[in-house]
Chains A and B, each alone.
Chain A
Amino acid sequence: MRTRTKLLAALLACLMILTVGSAFAEGETVTINFWHHYSAQSAENETLMNVLIPAFEAENPGIKVNAVSHEWAELHDKVLVSAKSNALPDVARCDIAWLPEFQKMGILVALDEEMPDFAEVSGKLLDSAMSTSVISGHNYALALNTNSKIVFYNKAMLEEAGVQVPTTMDEWVEAVKKLSGENANGQQVWGWNEPALAGWNICPFIWSFGGSLTNEDQTVATGYINGPATVKAVETFAELVKEGGITGFNSGDIPMTDGFGTGRYAMMLEGPWKSAELAGAYPDVAYGTAPIPAGEGGSISVLGGEDIAMFNSANKEVAWKFMQFMTSEFAETEMAKCGQIPVNKAALESETVKAADYAPFIEAIQTAKARPTVAAWSEMDNDLTVAMTAVVTGEKTAQEAMDELAAKWDELLK
């Protein structure tokens, strides 16, 4: 017993020394902290860690990049909380929908004011993409990538059900219904997958049905988010959910890529990164793409994309270097290989990008709309999810839920 205790103690001591040693072994370089939400297993993350950061560090000796990957929603929360605790990173890749909120918190650096060569750097990027970073006349970020969502459909499933690729919303409703039911194994299949009920997911339907979220000035929601066209979009969507045509937003559902790859979801609305994901995980699935079906409002998808922003606690000079690097032709071309549509003009002209066939997405971007660019968007987005949940579970009618939502949003937009 005695010797065993001693042995255990010795073992503990060894482990402690080992772990303490590893915890405090750090070099003397400038480290820049970069937060992003490239998912851990993705090709994007591989490119970032194995191609881009090594290249940047080789170009800039003495600078190290500490890249931290968060899940999308968690990244937003972490930035919010870190702002309160003065623990912000230097640079972050932010969803374009978050910028107004972060700007209002006063944590972003106005690049056009602080960076003397801002005009030169931003001139290399697409004006349309750069416009996502403009808040009350100043630029708070560099555009990093852009995207929009289009329909992905499983060719075999559509063929088997005798369904044409829907081009109008009426056809879409019919197609979703026809494609849902049971497969040969007796497993349930769904015509459409929608992985959440947030603005990113619901807006394309609202817009394509001719509805809207707020007025042009983004100051009032009543009459827009609860207007007849919006309510009709929400109703149609909820009806299909209730009939077993749409799923994916529940915790217990098969994840989107797996469900699509294994033939359980016939169609989905997704961005350019999905092609790379499917090629990696389900190379055998034959799928086609098409624009979102047109309704009264036309075929309107949602404008997505990320900007790269600098926080005011950053080591500005070094952070700026890294931001320039990330938006450079080289970095953007590398990222284009794994589904990120570049915004760097030179990268857009490169052979790689042309080969990637982003044409359908770039076409969708032409007509896509942006989610409201207001500071309260994250909160509004959460309210929207809550309201949509109440509608699809049948707890409230679409009109009731949207009326309540409109009142809440009016408060938030004041």
Chain B
Amino acid sequence: MKSLNGAKIRGMILRYFLLALGTVIFTLPMIYMISTSLRPNGALYEYPPRFFPKWEALTLENYSYILNQSKFYVNFLNSAFVSLSTITLAAAVSSAMAFVLGKFKLKVNKLIFGFIILTMIIPGTTMIVPQFELATKLNLVNQLWGLIPFYVAWVIPFSTFMIKGFMENIPGEIMEASWIDGASVWTVYTRIALPLASPAIASVSIFNFLTAWEEYPWANTVINDTSKRTLPIAIAGFFGQHQFTQWGYVFAMSVLTLIPVVLIFILCQKFFVQGLTAGSVKG
């Protein structure tokens, strides 16, 4: 007869073992990407292929090549501009919408909310043709800032949905007091609702940032000029335009693109989990 304790310890060891194994398999692609970005381009077709480059072959030449191209900074700033504008605008308009929808019983509430749900269940890319036509009519083709209204409109449903849930949970008494004091809707929104909902806003903003930072199909469709490209199209284009497919450069550029995202993720991972689970548990 095994003791219960022994079985438990064995169970724990198995758990850690499986988790560690899974994590290793999980991270291999990323490690391989980093290791490839650190080897000279000429060694790409070396035989046998190596997971890690030889120690003496390690080089930063791919990084210095990318960082010496002014294009990379332009693309980086373009991505930053679009993503930051998107999250700022989206936070402003969706928190306002969520406040009204969550705290006031208007006749249009159901209709608006119905549309919000509807757009959440349609894959975004299916709308690319009419959206392209719209962009054409509004002269937003090949305009960097022209990406922003589209991105904001895409993230509004999810953001409003999430923030609304949070707003609904703000106890009524807090606002009640302000109404009695004669505060206006605007005051209650800015002084009470916004500060209280800030964790929810922060969490959706992180998701919105990711969406805008990595968006590819739309940006690739409407942006032409090299100087207006965001990072994803720059990387994809860089890959396509290099007939010898210089993976070292491509991956160096990719690593540099991932750094801000990973940093934000690690610093804000609490908000991440909050945002994800709020949606799923509430349904």
Contact = CB atoms under 8 A, between A and B. Distances in A.
A12 B136 CA distance: 31
Interface stretch (A17-25, A132-140, A234-242, A384-392): A17-25
Given A16-B85, A187-B47, A258-B44, A22 B77 contact: yes
Nearest to A20: B81
A12 B244 CA distance: 38
B245 A255 contact: yes
B84 A16 contact: yes
Nearest to A67: B226
A187 B45 CA distance: 11
Contact of A23 (B44, B144, B224, B240): B144
A335 B243 CA distance: 19
A41 B84 contact: no
Interface in B120-154: 132-133, 135-136, 141-142, 144-145
Contacts of B225: 33, 66, 68
A18 B77 contact: yes
Contacts of B245: 255, 258
A39 B47 contact: no
Nearest to B132: A85
Contacts of A258: 44-45, 244-245
Given A22-B77, A23-B78, A23-B81, A69 B241 contact: yes
A70 B225 CA distance: 10
B243 A255 contact: yes
Interface in B56-86: 74, 77-78, 80-81, 84-85
Contacts of A68: 224-226
Contact of B136 (A70, A87, A262): A87
B244 A85 contact: no
A184 B17 CA distance: 41
B80 A19 contact: yes
B77 A39 contact: no
User: Which of B77, B132, B243 has the most chain A CB within a 10 Å cutoff?
Assistant: B243
A254 B45 contact: yes
Contacts of A257: 243-244
Interface string B16-50: 00000000000000000000000000001101000
B242 interface: yes
Nearest to A87: B141
Given A68-B226, A87-B224, A258-B45, A23 B145 contact: yes
From DSSP, what is the main secondary structure of chain A's interface residues? mixed
B240 A74 contact: yes
Interface string A38-73: 011110000000000000000000000011111100
A185 interface: yes
A19 B81 CA distance: 5
Interface string B213-224: 000000001001
B237 interface: yes
Interface in B89-135: 132-133, 135
B272 interface: no
Given A41-B241, A254-B45, A23 B141 contact: no
Given A86-B136, A254-B45, A71 B237 contact: yes
B246 interface: yes
Contacts of B246: 41
A85 B227 CA distance: 20
Interface string A183-202: 00101000000000000000
B204 to A, nearest CB: 15
Contact of B47 (A66, A71, A185): A185
Nearest to B71: A40
A23 B77 contact: yes
B238 interface: yes
A43 B103 CA distance: 63
B240 A71 contact: yes
Contacts of A87: 136, 141-142, 224
A71 B241 contact: yes
6 contacts: A12-B84, A35-B224, A39-B242, A81-B132, A82-B141, A82-B224
Interface of A: 12, 15-16, 18-20, 22-23, 33, 35, 39-42, 66-71, 74, 78, 81-82, 84-87, 89, 185, 187, 254-258, 262, 264, 277, 281
